[in-house]
Amino acid sequence: MARYIAKRILYMIPVLLGVTLLVFFIMHLAPGNVAGMILGENATPEQIAALEHEMGLDRPLLVQYFDYLVGLLHGDLGTSYTTGDSVTNEIMARFPYTVQLTLVAAVVSILLALPLGILAAVKQNTWVDNVSMVVSLIGVSMPIFWLAVMLILLFSLKLNLFPVYGADSWKSIVLPAISLGFMNMASIARTTRSSMVETIRQDYIRTAYAKGLSRKTIIMRHAFRNGMLPTITVIGLEIGQMLGGSVLTETVFAWPGVGRLMIQSVEGRDTPMVMGCIILMTICFSFVNLIVDLLYGAVDPRVRTMYR
Amino acid sequence: MNSSARPATSEELDFLSVQKNSQFRETFLRLCQNKAAVAGMIFLVFLILLAVFADLLFDYQTTCVDLNIAERLQWPSAEHWFGTDQFGRDLLARVVHGSRVSLSIGFIAVAFGLVVGGILGAIAGFFGGAVDNVIMRLCDVFLAVPMMLMAIVIVAALGASMVNLVIALAISCVPTFARIVRSAVLSVRDMEYVEAARAIGVKTGRTIFRYILPNCMGPIIVQTTLRIAATISNTAALSFLGLGVKEPQPEWGALLSSGRDFIRDSGYLATIPGVCIMLTILALNLLGDGLRDALDPRLK
């Protein structure tokens, strides 16, 4: 198992290097002159050239990339073009907010999705199944940002229950977490249902019934654990999607996380900041995928034996 | 001998009629039995017709671009079914013209992703070895970044415009299609009929396009439908963030974004474009699910 984890972490290194290379070169494809943009319209060519030299932008792109990489290995993501502060410090100040939002949204979506999916499968082709699947289908199809706007309209502006934006109290996280978690809840519920429907038709479930076990034990102990693998995959994928979706949710609710910082940096053409945000989110995404793979082993003994 | 020379009766030829049913026809008939998928299909056809004939229904310049401040922010009425926006323009006209923008971006980006990703995936799956390794590791790099973030990075680099939006979304589709086509090709690569094609000297390109790809179209068709839904949603999201289609060109995400500023008193401005996005994605999802069932040989 330890060997497998080590192998997976080692495999992540070339992928992450590839990501830094890709993002670095895409960001430097951007038309326009960064030094000129920082100095404003009245800057002379000499001033622009001097600033470019100072920032190291006049060196070949590959040299700039290797410098960036060396900095990255030391935890230094460069200096923001707009604020002049350290990118690492700024991102680290915002990161806890994104983690908090993603975790709350994930917990909300899992807690709602699993019972919904299991209930739909157990009560297949009844009204319970139909209602839960219609809710899931609508959830999958609803754009996150639209749901966010609708939640603000109803709960903040009409009912005055939650704040429109900010991160001042526990109330502030309720609407962003619902809007981020709802779509994921729908996907997880759909997968749980289809996997459970298949599992409860297996011979070993019939055997469990024949042995006289209670329905609750059969569903939770025999069917649920065996039907969990696809659900775990989807939960992992959805947490990755949440990192992408947090950009939208954080923008709508002015939540001070990394997603919002990234959009602000895109608008300000702050290349180091955008790169820092993307790299951090990619690392998180890769680790979530790793954890999902490891969870397979925890849930399924067949997978566990493959690691040995 | 005489009996073998006589023309066959219609009963005797019945077995031929089974062969006449093409796979496409069979799949379509099975799809038609799924009410939800049919509803999705009808809605999509209606939407495509609206997009194609948008100019006949509403003149673009007078209804979608020209300002009419006297009629600004009017709630839905008999005259303006979806109300008017902050510049007095008819929201229904803008939504109808917006469908043209949203659908065309979705379809073009996915078509590009499908062609490029499909070719890469087919090459990787068919040849295997080092070629497969290089292509798949490149895909791993792209897939390591969430699709939405990758699209944001590309638009940020190229600048916000409709063409750049299509490029960004198309590029972010490529690795997904490459993976799906690769695994589909791998599943049929070693079948006898492919071996037979090779044995009679069919060229590699023809073997892939004539014998392999048509036999693994099921997952590709399903994924294309679902990917169009995701791309339309991402188009709207990027326009919503100000990184996509710009005013005065109507696009559903951009309409929603500009309606957000008037949400307190004119909630319909943000609600209606959102409902359009949701119904379109819902229709595509229903069709995708229906196609998945119709193409699944286990459910035949």
SS3 labels along A75-133: CCCCECCCCCCEHHHHHHHHHHHHHHHHHHHHHHHHHHHHHHHHHHHHCCCCHHHHHHH
Residues in chain B closer than 8 A to A251 (CB atoms): 241
Residues in chain B closer than 8 A to A184 (CB atoms): none
Among A117-126, A289-298, B83-92, B243-252, name the one with the lowest average pLDDT. A289-298
Higher pLDDT, B50 or B292: B50
* pLDDT tier for residue B289 given thresholds of 50, 70 and 90: confident
Q: Mean pLDDT score of chain A, rounded to an integer?
A: 85
pLDDT at A23 over 50: yes
pLDDT at A226 over 80: yes
Mean pLDDT of B4-21: 58
Looking at domain A87-307, its CATH class is: mainly alpha
Answer for the pair A279, A77: CB distance below 8 angstroms, yes or no.
Answer: yes
* pLDDT tier for residue A32 given thresholds of 50, 70 and 90: low
Class of residue B218 by CB neighbours under 10 A (exposed 0-12, middle 13-18, buried 19+): middle
pLDDT at A182 over 70: yes
Residues in chain B closer than 8 A to A243 (CB atoms): 146, 149
pTM: 0.83
User: What is the rounded CA–CA span in Å between residue A80 and residue A276?
Assistant: 10
Q: Identify the CA nearest to A100 among candidates A173, A181, A183, A185.
A: A173
Judged by CB atoms closer than 8 Å, whether chains meet at A262 and B152 is answered as yes
Residue A266's pLDDT is what?
84
Residue B20's pLDDT is what?
53
Terminus-to-terminus CA distance in chain A, angstroms? 6
A60 phi and psi, to 5 degrees?
-60, 150
* pLDDT tier for residue B282 given thresholds of 50, 70 and 90: very high
Beta bridge partner(s), residue B90? B84
Mean pLDDT of A42-51: 81
Mean pLDDT of A277-287: 87
A86 phi and psi, to 5 degrees?
-70, 130
State the best of A146, A149, A165, A260 to mutate against chain B, taking most chain B CBs within 10 Å.
Answer: A146
Residues in chain A closer than 8 A to B142 (CB atoms): 22
Residues in chain A closer than 8 A to B240 (CB atoms): 145, 248
What are the tens digits of pLDDT across the range B84-123? 888 888 889 899 999 998 899 999 999 999 999 999 998 9
pLDDT at A104 over 50: yes
Among A62-66, A115-119, A170-174, A300-304, name the one with the lowest average pLDDT. A300-304
Judged by CB atoms closer than 8 Å, whether chains meet at B256 and A245 is answered as no
pLDDT at B285 over 50: yes
pLDDT at A157 over 50: yes
3-class DSSP assignment, residue B96: helix
Answer for the pair B113, B177: CB distance below 8 angstroms, yes or no.
Answer: yes
Residue B1's pLDDT is what?
43
Mean pLDDT of A262-280: 87
Judged by CB atoms closer than 8 Å, whether chains meet at B141 and A137 is answered as no
Q: Identify the CA nearest to B251 among candidates B238, B261, B265.
A: B238
Could you say which of A22, A143, A150 has the minimum Cβ distance to residue B233? A143
Higher pLDDT, A300 or B249: B249
Residues in chain A closer than 8 A to B242 (CB atoms): 267
Token pair of B241, please?
């963030």
* pLDDT tier for residue A304 given thresholds of 50, 70 and 90: low
State the best of B47, B134, B153, B277 to mutate against chain A, taking most chain A CBs within 10 Å.
Answer: B153
* pLDDT tier for residue B2 given thresholds of 50, 70 and 90: very low
**Going from the N-terminus, what domains does chain B have, and what CATH number goes with each?**
104-299 (1.10.3720.10)
Residue B298's pLDDT is what?
57
Residue with tokens 């298949």: A198
Judged by CB atoms closer than 8 Å, whether chains meet at A18 and B286 is answered as no
Q: Mean pLDDT score of chain B, rounded to an integer?
A: 84
Calculate what percentage of chain B has a pLDDT beyond 90. Answer: 22
State the best of A149, A153, A275, A288 to mutate against chain B, taking most chain B CBs within 10 Å.
Answer: A149
Among A257-261, A303-307, B217-221, name the one with the lowest average pLDDT. A303-307
pLDDT at B22 over 80: no
What are the tens digits of pLDDT across the range B136-194? 888 888 888 888 888 888 888 888 888 888 998 999 889 989 988 888 888 888 888 88
Among A120-134, A290-304, B112-126, name the one with the lowest average pLDDT. A290-304
* pLDDT tier for residue B73 given thresholds of 50, 70 and 90: confident
Among A3-12, A25-34, A83-92, B167-176, name the one with the lowest average pLDDT. A25-34
What are the tens digits of pLDDT across the range B220-255? 888 888 889 889 998 888 888 888 887 778 888 888
Residue B3's pLDDT is what?
46
Answer for the pair B95, B250: CB distance below 8 angstroms, yes or no.
Answer: yes
Residue B299's pLDDT is what?
53
Q: Identify the CA nearest to A277 among candidates A135, A78, A134, A35.
A: A78
* pLDDT tier for residue B216 given thresholds of 50, 70 and 90: confident
Could you say which of B148, B253, B260 has the minimum Cβ distance to residue A244? B148
Answer for the pair B88, B66: CB distance below 8 angstroms, yes or no.
Answer: no
User: What is the rounded CA–CA span in Å between residue B120 and residue B208?
Assistant: 12
Map out the domains of chain A as residue ranges: 87-307
Could you say which of A16, A18, A244 has the minimum Cβ distance to residue B147? A244
Token pair of A255, please?
């939540």
pLDDT at B12 over 70: no
* pLDDT tier for residue B19 given thresholds of 50, 70 and 90: low
